[in-house]
Amino acid sequence: MKKLKSLLIVNCKLRIVHCLLLIVNCVLLIVNCSFDYGTSRNDIERPDIIMHDVEYVRVVQGDPLVRFHAEYAERYEEQQIMNLDTFSFEEFQDRGYSVNTTGRAGAALIELDSGNVSLTRGVYIQVESEDITIETATLHWRDRERLIEGGENEVVNIRRSDGTVFIGRGFSANAREQTWQFNQGARGTYIDDTDDE
C-alpha cells in the first residue's frame, strides 16, 4: 500500500512538471513567434501627436484668423486632420485686433490643409457683428466656400438679442453673402425693430 501511494505521488508530480513544461513552452512560443499580417487597423488610426490643454492659432499673411482651444487633441499627419475634445474657438477680424465670433462644441474635426471644421456633441456659436447665436448638435464649416451647414436632420436654433428666434432643420448659411436658410421647414418669431417714419 505504501508503495502504491508513493507511485501515485510520483505520477502526480510528473504530471504537474509535465503541465508546467507545456505552459512554459507555450509562453516561449507565443513570445518568440511573430506573424506579419501587414499593417494593422490600429497602426493606421494611431495619432502621430496627442496633446492635452492645447491652443492652436491659424495665421494667414501674418494675421491671426482663428484661435482654437481643446482639452484633448489628436493630430494625424498623413491625413492632415486634428480631432479635438471639449473645443472652443474665437474668430478674429480687423487683422486680429477684435473678436467677431466665439463658439464651443463637445468635439471637433479639423482638416488642416483645407480649414474645414466639423463640430459635434453640442454646438454653440455667437456672431457679434450679426447679433446671432446658433445652437445645435452638429455644424460643418467649409472654409473655402465660407459655408456653414447643420446636420441633415439636426434641429438648429437661431436667436438674436431682440427676441427674434428661428428653429428648423436643413440649416445652411453663406458667410460671404451673409444669408442663411432652412430647407426642411422652420418656425419662429421675427422682431422688426426698425423705426417707421
Please give the Cα distance from 32 to 4 (Å, whole number): 42
H or E element at residue 111: strand 98-111
Quick check: is 193 in a domain? no
Quick check: is 41 in a domain? no
Quick check: is 127 in a domain? yes
Whether residue 166 sits in one domain with residue 86: yes
Number of domains in the chain: 2
Q: Over the stretch 35-75, which tens digit does the pLDDT of each residue have?
A: 444 454 455 579 999 999 989 888 888 999 888 899 999 99
Range(s) of the domain holding residue 20: 1-33
Q: What is the pTM of this model?
A: 0.69
For the cut 70, the answer to whether the pLDDT of residue 17 exceeds it is no
Whether residue 65 sits in one domain with residue 24: no
Count the Cβ atoms, other than its own, within 10 Å of residue 86. Answer: 16
Q: SS3 of 39, please?
A: coil
Whether residue 133 sits in one domain with residue 81: yes
Whether residue 117 sits in one domain with residue 75: yes
Q: Over the stretch 86-138, which tens digit does the pLDDT of each residue have?
A: 999 898 988 878 899 999 999 999 898 998 999 999 999 998 988 999 999 99
Quick check: is 192 in a domain? no
